[in-house]
Amino acid sequence: MAKICLCLTAKTLDRNLEILGKYRKHADIAELRVDCLAPDERLQIRNFPQQADIPLILTIRRTVDGGHFEGGEGARINLMARGLAFADADRRRNFAYLDIEDDLNVPSLEEATRTFGTRIIRSYHNIKGTDSNLAEKIRSMPHSGDDIVKVSVTANSITDTIALLRAGKRSGKQEKILIAMGRYGICSRILAEQFGSFLCYTSALTETDSPAAAPGQIDIKELAELYRFRNITAATKVYGITGYPLNVTASPQFFNTVFRLESMDAVYVPFPANAVGGCIELANALNVFGLSVTVPYKESVIPFLAEQSPEVDSIGACNTVSRGPEGWTGANTDAGGFSDSLLEFTGRKNLKRARVTVIGAGGAARAVASELRRLGAKTLILNRTILKARELAALYDFAWGSLDSQGIEMMGKYNDIIIQTTSAGMGENNPTDPAALYRFNGKEEVMDLIYHPALTPFLKRAADSGCRVQNGYDMLIRQARYQYTLFTGKEFPEHLLPRIKFENSDGEG
Ligand code: ATR
């Protein structure tokens, strides 16, 4: 079972001990990053294993390998020897592991290390990219006895992460630590077990003076509690979300919480991807059971589907793929999530008497428009780019216009319900109001698909004018419930809803 390693990257040993104390219950191993210590602290490392009382890795990372040690190799080797020199029958007083780079050839140091009962982690770092001959690189790393081989490369694309996964599988039985650094390699950390990695390096990222030891590292508490890393085995069902940039997404919080509360052997992983085809290839290689698909891949994922629901056909966008016997099956849960949310909000059974304006004509608006048609609403589509409004309206015989004064005037006849579907106003301090010319009369029911911030400038203006308003949070949860059913074949456990909260969400799905 892969272990959790807490990287200690604070400037003093005392502070590192404090951090270790706070997160000890999540860590199997800790790594003392001596290169992160203040220079005078580096001389005091000898007693640290005894104080820390956890299997410790001694690492002095050079700047060329992504660390902070700027001195020469002589000084570095001296420091390593200083750290190891506490020869003691009680191994708890020694470092359990010493990280030695593959190009550091000091036989006497290796010999002494082994004499002290310390295991060598033979490491290779590529902070620029991923080597083309990775399997060969892993196989040819100098090692002997019970050394562990560590290969840490930078994934500049999702393809690099696939290369690491495949190379790991082809490189024999040697105990390994395999890491794809950067955003495209986040899955290689959470799924260390699937990648065949001995451990996953983490940091205590919520501590301000404990920075990530490498790009893409995950917070130790998040790895242990949200992703339930210690429960992940080869049998664990893997789900996830793909999109770009996918910087912050609420879905892992939602799904992993449901999986935990339901005691399911499943994990939901973010797969930020520079190309949707690469993500599908990785999902195949990892035997992923289902993916949420978000901006900008809801359309480009369609060619990878073996089957698709009628909604995907009519909307032209797919936000859910699940593994079927023939390949990937695509569905669109945005549509159902939206209409459930709207009907609940307005207290209506259908929209046959409603006159509705949709602001926007992008992917989200397409799902909204198809549902408005199904529910019988008389609809006006307004979009900044009028051509797109016309195209979308033509599919359903809706009225259309632009967001200029002429279009806004038309809204006066379609203002029982107004639905804002654009990204205008999304995120922190975004003052954009896509329909700033429209004056609310206070009777409109107004829905904005954005949920972060909770009130966009547009929605706030509506609320201030006396309108009933609703943001996109409810729709987000409702579409995720449909996804849960598609992923697992089970009804969503409604009784758990009060215990599931989306956090840190920015509207990427
Ligand atoms: P999504 O899948 O989230 O709907 P999209 O397909 O890229 O994303 O569509 C974005 C929508 O937001 C479009 O309707 C876009 O208008 P244009 O078609 O004119 O580009 C709209 N949009 C984005 N920023 C906007 C802004 N500042 N003001 C008005 N509309 C905006």
What residue ranges define each of the domains in the chain, with the CATH number in brackets? 3-233 (3.20.20.70), 243-332+479-500 (3.40.50.10860), 335-471 (3.40.50.720)
- In this structure, the dihedral spanned by the alpha carbons of residues 34, 40, 41 and 43, taken in order and rounded to 10 degrees, is 70
Which residue owns the Cα nearest ligand 1 atom 16?
384
* Cβ atoms of residues 243 and 509 within 8 Å: yes
**Mean pLDDT in residue range 136-163:** 95
pLDDT tens-place string over residues 53-71: 999 999 999 999 999 999 9
pLDDT tens across 450-479, in order?
A: 988 999 999 999 999 999 999 999 999 999
* Cα separation values, 312 from 273, 315, 399, 472, Å: 22, 5, 23, 21
Separation of CA 303 and ligand 1 centre (Å) = 23
Q: How far apart, in whole angstroms, are the C-alpha atoms of residue 6 and residue 29?
A: 6
Distance 49 CA to ligand 1 centre (A): 56
pLDDT of residue 248: 63
Q: Are strands 355-359 and 119-126 parallel, antiparallel or unpaired?
A: unpaired
Q: Which tokens go with 37?
A: 């210590």
Whole-number Cα distances in Å, 343 to 346, 349, 374, 451, 494? 5, 6, 13, 18, 18
Ligand 1 pocket test target in 319, 366, 384 with most atoms within 8 Å of CB: 384
What's the confidence (pLDDT) of residue 308? 97
Mean model confidence pLDDT for the chain: 94
Name the residue of 422, 433, 476 whose CB sits within 8 Å of the most ligand 1 atoms, as the mutation to test its pocket. 422
pLDDT number for residue 142: 87
Query: Average of pLDDT values for 355-363?
Result: 96
pLDDT, tens only, 266-307: 999 999 999 999 999 999 999 999 999 998 999 999 999 999
Distance CA 17, CA 279 (A): 39
Sign of CA dihedral 268, 269, 273, 275: negative
449 Cα to the center of ligand 1, angstroms: 12
Strand partners, 31: 7, 57
* Four-residue CA torsion sign, 91, 178, 234, 236: positive
Residue closest by Cα to atom 27 of ligand 1: 424
Substitution site in 315, 386, 421, 423 for ligand 1 pocket (most atoms within 8 Å of beta carbon): 423
Token representation of residue 3: 């272990």
* Strands 399-402, 378-383: pairing kind: parallel
Helix (H) or strand (E) holding 3: strand 3-8
387 Cα–ligand 1 center, Å: 13
Identity of the amino acid at 27: A
Confidence of residue 88 (pLDDT cuts 50, 70, 90): low
Report the nearest-CA residue for atom 10 of ligand 1: 362
User: Which numbered atom of ligand 1 lies nearest the CA of 295?
Assistant: 2
Q: How far is the CA of 389 from the centre of ligand 1 (A)?
A: 11
Residue 166: per-residue pLDDT: 97
pTM listed for this prediction: 0.91
Residue nearest to atom 9 of ligand 1 (CA): 362
Mean pLDDT of 436-449: 98
Indicate which residue's Cα is closest to atom 12 of ligand 1: 422
- Catalytic positions: 298
> How much distance in Å is there from the Cα of 330 to the middle of ligand 1?
24
Tell me 91's DSSP state: G
Contacts of 301 (CB under 8 A, 6+ apart): 276, 280, 293, 318, 321, 330
| Whether the predicted pLDDT of 185 surpasses 50 | yes
